[in-house]
Amino acid sequence: MKPVVVRNVAIGEAIPKICVPIVGKTIDEILNQAKHICEIGADVVEWRVDWFEEVNHYESVENAAKQLRDILGETPILFTFRTAKEGGERAIEPDEYVELNEKIAKSGYVDLVDVEAFIGDTYVEKVVKTSHECGVKVIASNHDFRKTPPKAELISRMRKMQELGADIPKIAVMPQSTEDVLTLLSATEEMRRCYADRPVITMSMEGTGVVSRMCGEVFGSALTFGAAGKVSAPGQIDVEELRTVLGIIHKSL
C-alpha cells in the first residue's frame, strides 16, 4: 500500500494522522477556529462547509477558503459538504453538490475534497476526475448514523470506493453494541490485508466506538478525527488526548 501524500503529510504511513474539523457558521467563527487549531496542531484540517451560513454563495466559500489557506499555511485542508442524509447540516441537490466540489478543487485553496460515495456513481466519478486534474485528492465517504452493517457489506462499500477512483475510502458507522465495534475493526483489518491498495479511514461512533478512533495503526485506519472544541460527529475526543494515546500505541508496536 502506498501512502497518500498531501503537502508534507503522508496519510497511511506509520502513526495515524489526526484531522481536526472546523464547524463555524460565520466567517469569524471559521477563522477563529483555524487559528486555535494552529496553536494546538493538527495533521489535517477539515472544513465542514455545510455548517457555513453563506455556503449557497460560492464567492463567500472561496473567500473563506482563501483566508483559511493563509492562516493554515502548509497544513492540508479537507473540504467537506456533509449532506443531511449522511448526518450533515443541510440538504443539497446532486448537481449543486458536484459543482461546489469541482469549483473548490479548481480554486487551489484546498488539498482534499470529501465526496459521498453513494450520491451516484456518475457524480462521484465527475468529482474525482476534476479533482485529480487539479492535483486535489479525494476521500470517498459513507456514514451510517443508525447502525453498523455486516462485515461483508462494509468491505464491499470500501472496495466500491476504490473502484470509483477515490484516493482514500472512508466509512463511519453507528454501533448498537460492542460487537458492532468489533465488526468494524475486523472489516478494517481484512480490507487492509486483502483488498486495499491505498489507505482507508474507518470509525465507529459514539462512546461505544471511541476505541476505533485510537487503534487505527493496529487495524488499518490511516486517519482519525479529533475535536478542538465543538465536535462534528459523535464520539470525537479531544485532540491532545488523542495524540497522547496514538503515541503510546505507536511506541508499543
Whether 126 sits among the annotated catalytic residues: the reply is no
Record the cell numbers describing residue 144, joined without a space.
451510517
Beta strands in the chain (DSSP E): 4-6, 9-11, 17-22, 44-48, 77-80, 112-116, 137-144, 168-173, 201-204, 223-227, 237-238
DSSP state of 187: H
Question: In 3D, which of 122, 179, 190 has the Cα closest to residue 156?
Answer: 190
Dig out the grid coordinates for 222 from the structure: 490511516
Give yes or no: 143 in active site: yes
> Which listed residue (36, 57, 170, 251) is catalytic?
170
From the candidates 17, 126, 137, 143, which is the catalytic residue? 143
From residue 113, give the alpha-carbon distance in Å to each of 45, 108, 127, 171: 11, 12, 9, 15
Q: Find out whether 172 and 141 touch, Cβ atoms under 8 Å.
A: yes
**CA distance from start to end of the chain:** 19
* H or E stretch covering 138: strand 137-144
Catalytically active residues are 143, 170
